[in-house]
């Protein structure tokens, strides 16, 4: 019997990546990570000379510049399996610093639709990160990048900014009232589906990651709209939050780069 295939042959550095289709030189060191490919186009408007460099499955990537800094944006798709793939392949392609720009459902009172949340950690209610670290290993963002993201958000945001520990879940419809009540009792503040995968893979690859989310709902106070952000859905507040988090994350990259010299 032959040996199992060693995937380093297809996921190594300096080669065209298998699933994101990113080629060497396609991305900068700084990468924004929305879930939705459409949010890549929304982000590209803020980049000078943005070019679509790859587009395969749920992974759409633009690269351009922000205040002279080369910045890319790649969509992760929904859930940790594809978020982990995007993060891994971006690291292989030369990315070093990530900010997830997501949407999220708040689960504590006092957080409104359209508010922003900066992650200080994520419960790993998903099955992907255990391929990389034991269950007891925490999924946490980079401390310096997170501190800068939070202070930049507080300075620039037109809506309230919150921070705390969220839950990264594998099942959108498995977030039952009983499940949510348990998380509320732990002091968990929001639900989404990719952060712990991004934090874990970035950590294993020696890269930095942070996350900021716009609130699409509050499942504790039953503030719930359709999360597509169309005017018909009545959720202009979410669209405004996406626009804000993009600008805050780009400014954080710029300041982070300046600080590092």
Interface residue list for ligand URA (CB under 6 A): 103-105, 169, 172, 175, 191-193, 216-217
Which residue do the tokens 């295939």 mark? 5
C-alpha distances in Å from residue 177, one per residue of 28, 184, 205: 41, 10, 36
175 interface partner picked from ligand URA, ligand R1P, none, CB below 5 to 8 A per type? ligand URA
180 binds ligand R1P (CB under 6 A): no
Phi, psi of 230 (to 5 degrees): -75, 150
Q: Would you say 37 or 257 has its CB closer to ligand R1P?
A: 37
CB of 26 vs ligand URA, minimal distance in Å: 29
From the list 4-12, 31-39, 203-211, 229-237, the region that binds ligand R1P by CB under 6 A is 31-39
34 interface partner picked from ligand R1P, ligand URA, none, CB below 5 to 8 A per type? ligand R1P
Rounded Cα distance between 60 and 196, Å, is: 21
Element (H, E) at 93: none
Six-digit token string for 238:
């979410």
114 binds ligand R1P (CB under 6 A): no
Q: Which of 15, 21, 78, 239 binds ligand R1P (CB under 6 A)?
A: 78
172 binds ligand R1P (CB under 6 A): yes
194 binds ligand R1P (CB under 6 A): yes
Q: Which of 22, 27, 34, 64 binds ligand R1P (CB under 6 A)?
A: 34
- Residues 79-106: b if buried by 16+ CB within 10 A, e if exposed: bbbbbbbbbbbbbbbbbbbbbbbbbbbb
Rounded Cα distance between 168 and 129, Å, is: 11
Q: Would you say 34 or 121 has its CB closer to ligand R1P?
A: 34
């Amino acid at each position: 019997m032959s040996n199992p295939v060693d995937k380093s042959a297809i996921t190594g550095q300096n080669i065209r990546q298998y699933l994101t289709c990113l080629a060497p030189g396609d991305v900068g060191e700084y990468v924004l990570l929305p879930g939705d490919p459409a949010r890549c186009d929304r982000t590209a408007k803020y980049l000078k000379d943005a070019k679509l460099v790859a587009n395969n499955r749920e992974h759409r990537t633009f690269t351009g510049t922000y205040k002279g800094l080369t910045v890319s944006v790649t969509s992760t798709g929904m859930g940790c399996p594809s978020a982990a793939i995007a993060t891994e392949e971006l690291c292989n392609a030369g990315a070093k610093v990530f900010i997830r720009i997501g949407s999220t459902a708040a689960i504590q009172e006092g957080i409104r639709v359209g508010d922003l949340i900066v992650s200080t950690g994520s419960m790993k209610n998903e099955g992907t990160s255990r391929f990389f670290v034991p269950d007891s290993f925490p999924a946490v963002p980079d401390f310096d990048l997170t501190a800068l993201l939070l202070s930049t958000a507080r300075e620039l945001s037109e809506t309230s900014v919150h921070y705390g520990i969220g839950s990264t879940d594998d099942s959108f419809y498995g977030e039952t009232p009983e499940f949510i009540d348990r998380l509320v009792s732990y002091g968990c503040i929001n639900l989404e589906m990719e952060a712990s995968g991004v934090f874990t893979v970035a950590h294993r690859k020696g890269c930095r990651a942070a996350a900021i989310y716009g609130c699409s709902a509050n499942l504790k106070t039953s503030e719930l709209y359709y999360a597509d952000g169309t005017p018909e859905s009545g959720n202009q507040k979410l669209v405004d939050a996406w626009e804000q988090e993009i600008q805050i994350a780009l400014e954080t990259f710029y300041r982070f780069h300046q600080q590092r010299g």
